[in-house]
Amino acid sequence: MFDALYISATGMQAQQLNVDTIANNLANVNTSGFKKSKVGFSDLMVREAARQLPTQESAGVLGAEKRLGAGVGVSGVSKLFDMGELKKTESAYDIAIQGQGFLEVTMPDGSSAFTRGGTFKINRDGLLATASGYPLKPNLAIPDNAQSLVIDADGQVSVQVAGEAKAVELGQFDLVRFTNPSGLLAQGNGLYRSSSESGEAISAKPAADGMGSLAQGFLEGSNVKLNEEMIGLMVAQRVYEANVKVMQASDEMLGMVNGLRR
């Protein structure tokens, strides 16, 4: 009975994290480029327990050892990088990645972060940057007299400058991918950092070597599906309730034992 109390407590704790994760997914259903998270569960370490269980072969003697579980644990919370629906915006500074890949971003400390795209801008240094002002590699400077920005599907960036008949090429965007993108560490604002689980970044040109292509004038929507999240929320609630009932039943049984009289 004491074991049942602890086991049901692990179930309640795990489902609380599951509900919190689903709530965050639902809160970001309209966030551009948001990738939903999923909680993974695993059974906790089992222990050996010798029980005197009479059997037909050897009634009344020590039975075989039984494997008893110790509850449920959270094996991890991973990001799912399924592609969201592309939404047309007509803005030259809205960029989405159609397919696999990330754009590389230079952080203030000089390290790299990665994004699936979004609404970009020209920062105070004149560089094409994220909405938070972090420049995109390879640090493309946009001229002050630029009239239009063009980003091709293969990553070529050019601008139309006042007084020039021909567009001026500024550079080339590359995309990066990871062996295990679920291992990326979310930093907020649509940015991710690599980790030992994600592996090193593999760079390639857009639309080559399995990479996706760039789509200017589009934003990638969230990959959260309301119907799936609502079903998952109801299941998590029911499992939580079941664990509460197990705890209540164990408590009642302990109360009966404490109330026994000779």
d(CA 69, CA 4): 10
Phi, psi of 255 (to 5 degrees): -65, -40
59 and 135 housed in the same domain: no
User: Could you tell me the residue range of the domain that residue 196 belongs to?
Assistant: 86-220
190 and 233 housed in the same domain: no
**Exposure string (b/e) for 8-37, b if CB count within 10 Å is 16 or more?**
bebbbbbbeebbebbeebeebeeebbbbbb
242 and 177 housed in the same domain: no
For residues 118 and 190, is the Cβ–Cβ distance under 8 A? yes
pLDDT of 111: 93
66 and 140 housed in the same domain: no
**Exposure string (b/e) for 146-178, b if CB count within 10 Å is 16 or more?**
beebebeeebbbbbbbeeeeebeebeebbbbbb
* 91-125 residue pLDDT tens: 999 999 999 999 999 999 999 999 999 999 999 99
* 176-214 residue pLDDT tens: 999 999 999 999 999 999 999 999 999 999 988 889 999
100 and 6 housed in the same domain: no
pTM, full prediction: 0.82
209 and 104 housed in the same domain: yes
pLDDT of 4: 86
Please state the domain count of the chain. 2
Quick one: which of 156, 187, 182 has its CA closest to 169? Answer: 156
